[in-house]
Structure 1
Amino acid sequence: MLNSIRIYSYSRCATCRKALAWLQQHQIAHDLFDIVETPPSREMLRGASKQLASRKLLFNTSGVSYRALGADAVKAMSDDEALDALASDGKLIKRPFLITENGSVLVGFKPEIWAEALLR
């Protein structure tokens, strides 16, 4: 259980900026982390992977780091190898990456899903 919402963002990401503006507009307090400088821990990523329908949802498939690895290489990774890769390169992680106070994970920014999860 966390004390506050944690959001991992990249300052040059337009989607991240939209998500941060949305949080501010809705006056939702959060702790902000640079996903490149301070990526989510391996344990956070493991928890996220268990919540999501597919580990592929954790990957920023349109990013340079993902393309450099290659989709086939990522598919061939074991779960542990995938978690190691994600934890070591924040640009591989789908962003923004948000962990709610109750530990639920949101990846990417879809206002309707964020509203459902955060506006109660």
Structure 2
Amino acid sequence: MLKLYGYKRCSTSKKAQKWLDDHQIAYQYQDLVEKPPKQEDLLKWLTKFQDRGLRYFFNTSGQVYRQMQLKDKIGEMSIEEASKLLSQNGKLIKRPLVTDGENLTCGFKEDLYKNTWL
């Protein structure tokens, strides 16, 4: 079953949920601000999908990202450092993050969802 890590107040998370609901795709929802993914899960995903780059997993338009000035630091960051940082503050994670254990998407783009989740 899919697991959707989203944020209740995020319009992109809501769009993704609506898309999954409209396509009758079952998923388990977890608020990534209240309960971010575990560091070991993030480490696994960042490693498996490292061809996408660390920036793919970060909410680069978020306030916390800007406040921490991560734009300049992310290029030097290790996968271990990134997984620790993301697990400590869910607002740093690009949302929604959706995974079924094999595949993973961050953000919402309808064509990407069609190709990945249908």
Q: TM-score, normalised by structure 1?
A: 0.89
Corresponding position of 1:16: 13
One-letter amino acid matched to 2:30 = F
CA distance in 1, matches of 2:78, 2:43: 13
CA distance in 1, matches of 2:41, 2:95: 14
Does residue 78 (structure 1) correspond to residue 82 (structure 2)? The answer is no
Corresponding position of 2:89: 89
Does residue 28 (structure 1) correspond to residue 11 (structure 2)? The answer is no
Deviation at 1:75, TM superposition (A): 3.1
Paired residues, number: 115
CA distance in 2, matches of 1:82, 1:23: 28
Is the 8 Å Cα contact of residues 54 and 74 (structure 2) preserved in structure 1? no
CA distance in 1, matches of 2:96, 2:112: 13
Q: Which runs of 5+ in 2 are unaligned?
A: none
CA distance in 2, matches of 1:74, 1:65: 14
CA distance in 2, matches of 1:87, 1:51: 17
Query: Identity of counterpart residues, as a percentage?
Result: 39
Deviation at 1:12, TM superposition (A): 0.9
Residue correspondence of structure 1 range 34-53 to structure 2 within 5 A: 34-49=31-46, 50-52=48-50, 53=52
Deviation at 1:79, TM superposition (A): 2.3
Q: Please tell me the root mean square deviation across aligned C-alpha atoms, in Å.
A: 1.3
CA distance in 1, matches of 2:113, 2:40: 23
Residue correspondence of structure 1 range 52-63 to structure 2 within 5 A: 52=50, 53-63=52-62
- Deviations along 1:2-46, one digit per CA (max 9) or x if unpaired, are xx1100000111111000000110011000000101111112212
Deviation at 1:62, TM superposition (A): 0.3
Q: TM-score, normalised by structure 2?
A: 0.90
CA distance in 2, matches of 1:48, 1:41: 11
CA distance in 1, matches of 2:74, 2:49: 19
CA distance in 2, matches of 1:47, 1:110: 23
Q: Report the secondary structure of 2:114's partner residue.
A: helix
